[in-house]
């Protein structure tokens, strides 16, 4: 089972949602969960040091002699029940090897959460690789605020998510039903902007002490 979390505009809260979802899935599965970080902010949100070794982007750039089995060696234990495959230090530069990686992830017995980051729809290899992970996932989650610019960008993309994780904040003119009408897909979770979540991220405790409102909001998704 592969979940992809992505946004059409920066600052939507995609990494926080991806980390929280991986924590919830890791608690529920005997084998734990895997967080695949295509965006690069996973270690910061998890409160762990940036891995010094290679990451997925380095594997994507490797020669054909480096097979899919090597992906498991990229994993780091970062929280109880959660392992991280970090982004690495290169561009996401090979669609063929991304397809090979996805075949392995889809076959994994553990639930996989991919923090895809922002998708722009640009015709460059990085954006196409990100789209590969979205389109191959079992569940594709657009993380967005009720923001006109974000919704306009998302609606212009040539694909749709399975559902929307709506990050609710006060003072917005657009409602949950407006978001669903614009995108044509359901809001599967509504996450309120909570000071407790910001404090957990800033203190590096999001995975260890997942704030209850965030966990409850995402429980039905997990």
Quote the CA–CA distance of 80 and 26 in Å, as a whole number: 8
Residues 6+ apart with CB under 8 A from 4: 113, 114, 116, 133, 134, 137, 139, 140, 141
Task: Kindly report the pTM of this predicted structure.
Answer: 0.95
For position 150, what pLDDT does the model report? 95
For position 127, what pLDDT does the model report? 95
**Domain range spanning residue 22?**
2-219
Mean pLDDT for the stretch of residues 90-110 = 96
Query: Domains in the chain: how many in total?
Result: 1
CATH of the domain at 174: 3.40.50.300
For position 172, what pLDDT does the model report? 85
Q: Dump pLDDT digits (tens) for 110-135.
A: 999 999 999 998 889 999 999 999 99
Whether the predicted pLDDT of 170 surpasses 90: no
The answer to whether the beta carbons of residues 76 and 84 sit under 8 Å apart is yes
Strand partners, 191: 167
């Amino acid at each position: 089972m592969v979940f992809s979390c992505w946004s059409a505009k920066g600052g939507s809260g995609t990494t926080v949602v991806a980390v929280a979802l991986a924590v919830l899935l890791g608690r529920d599965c005997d084998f734990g969960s895997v967080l695949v970080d295509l965006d690069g902010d996973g270690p910061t949100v998890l409160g762990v040091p940036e891995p010094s070794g290679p990451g997925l982007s380095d594997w994507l750039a490797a020669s054909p002699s480096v097979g899919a089995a090597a992906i498991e060696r990229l994993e780091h234990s970062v929280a109880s029940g959660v392992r991280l495959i970090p982004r690495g230090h290169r561009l996401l530069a090979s669609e063929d090897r991304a397809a090979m990686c996805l075949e392995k992830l889809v076959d994994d017995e553990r639930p996989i959460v991919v923090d895809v980051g922002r998708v722009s729809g640009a015709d460059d290899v990085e954006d196409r690789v990100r789209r590969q992970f979205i389109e191959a996932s079992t569940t594709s989650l657009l993380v967005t605020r009720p923001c006109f610019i974000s919704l306009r960008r998302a609606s212009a993309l040539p694909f749709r998510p399975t559902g929307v994780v709506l990050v609710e904040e006060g003072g917005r003119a657009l409602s949950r039903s407006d978001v669903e009408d614009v995108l044509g897909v359901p809001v599967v979770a509504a996450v309120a902007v909570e000071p407790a979540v910001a404090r957990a991220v800033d203190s590096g405790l999001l995975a260890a002490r997942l704030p209850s409102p965030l966990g409850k909001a995402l429980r039905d998704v997990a």
